[in-house]
Amino acid sequence: IYRVQSPTALPTFLLIGPSGAGKTAFLTLTERNSAAQTHTSTAPLTIQALLPEGFVPSSSHYRSAGDPAYERARRFLLLDTPGHGKLRHFATARLVNPSNVRGIIFFIDAASVAEDTGLNEAAEYLHDVLLALQKRYTGAKTSKGPKEIPVLIAANKLDLFTALPPHLVKISLEKAVSEVRKSRAKGLKDSGVAMGAEEDMVDEERNWLGEGGEGSFEFRQMEEVGTSVVVKGGNVLGGDGTDVKNWWDWISEQL
């Protein structure tokens, strides 16, 4: 009996983010090599994918095409999750137990984050995802710490003229996440759970994202807990076709 590598052992990239950001559109594009109409997701969906021609997995820079190890390294899974507020447990469940998760792609609609409502919704979800990764790191039993899980923030829909450019998406999100962090800390305090002052303190620290102190939150603070966060722009759809090269580059780096 020959053992074939089971598909579940393939590196997985988790597609997370608010509803309407373009997660399923990206999955569909990857699967069919052409964009198609999507509907809002109500369940998670996993597909097997292949890194497109022209992109090289970082583990295979010294291998040649045709080498079986090279071909194998191009394969991965994309796991799409619903962004609706009531359906996020599908995504967060994978964050608690992220075996085989090679990276997280947090999709946002770069046009919607130009407005407060869209920005705040994205920032709340992003805050919770980053905090889950931080807790996973600080709660690890081994001294080495768990395997790193990098995050790509995919600023999608750059074809829309109202879209914020990626560097402003980054600044806006960092600011908005700082605000979420503040209001969550206040919420914890106000919740008045009957706890001793000491327990209160421990809980506060554990639930505080990034560095302590008065400064604002910045994505680079996540490096302390084994998570690199980068923002890269693109568009799955659009009048002039798709542009997802930056995201493929990032995925190649993780493979």
Q: Per CB under 5 A, does 235 bind Mg ion? A: no
Identify the sign of the CA torsion 82, 83, 86, 89: positive
Q: Are 158 and 110 in contact (CB under 8 A)?
A: yes
Q: Are 223 and 130 in contact (CB under 8 A)?
A: no
Q: To the nearest whole angstrom, how small is the minimum distance from the Cβ of residue 39 to ligand GTP? A: 6
Q: To the nearest whole angstrom, how small is the minimum distance from the Cβ of residue 138 to ligand GTP? A: 29
Burial call 196-228: b when 16+ CB within 10 Å, e when fewer: eeeeeeeeeeeebbbeeeeeebbbebbeebbbe
DSSP for residue 164: P
The footprint of ligand GTP on this chain (CB under 6 A) covers a number of residues equal to 23
Q: Per CB under 5 A, does 28 bind Mg ion? A: no
Q: Per CB under 6 A, does 112 bind ligand GTP? A: no
Q: Which of 12, 28, 30, 41 lies at the binding interface for Mg ion (CB under 5 A)?
A: 41
Q: Which of 12, 24, 221, 235 lies at the binding interface for Mg ion (CB under 5 A)?
A: 24
Q: Where are the alpha helices (DSSP H) in the chain?
A: 23-32, 68-73, 89-96, 116-138, 166-190, 197-206, 245-254
Closer by beta carbon to ligand GTP, 63 or else 84: 84
What is the rounded end-to-end Cα distance, in angstroms, of the chain? 29
∠ CA 119-154-83 to the nearest 5 degrees? 60
Q: Which of 63, 84, 135, 175 lies at the binding interface for ligand GTP (CB under 6 A)?
A: 84
Q: Judged by CB under 5 A, which stretch of 17-25, 71-79, 193-201, 240-248 contacts Mg ion?
A: 17-25
Q: Which of 146, 238, 248, 253 lies at the binding interface for ligand GTP (CB under 6 A)?
A: 238
Q: Which of 14, 23, 57, 150 lies at the binding interface for ligand GTP (CB under 6 A)?
A: 23
Closest residue to ligand GTP, Cβ-based?
Answer: 83
Q: Report the C-alpha gap between 207 and 102 in whole angstroms.
A: 24
State how beta strands 101-109 and 12-16 pair: parallel
Q: Report the C-alpha gap between 23 and 236 in whole angstroms.
A: 9
Q: Per CB under 6 A, does 91 bind ligand GTP? A: no
Closer by beta carbon to Mg ion, 23 or else 232: 23
Q: Where along the sequence are the contacts to ligand GTP (CB under 6 A)?
A: 17, 19-25, 38, 40-41, 82-84, 107, 156-157, 159-160, 235-238
Q: Where along the sequence are the contacts to Mg ion (CB under 5 A)?
A: 23-24, 41
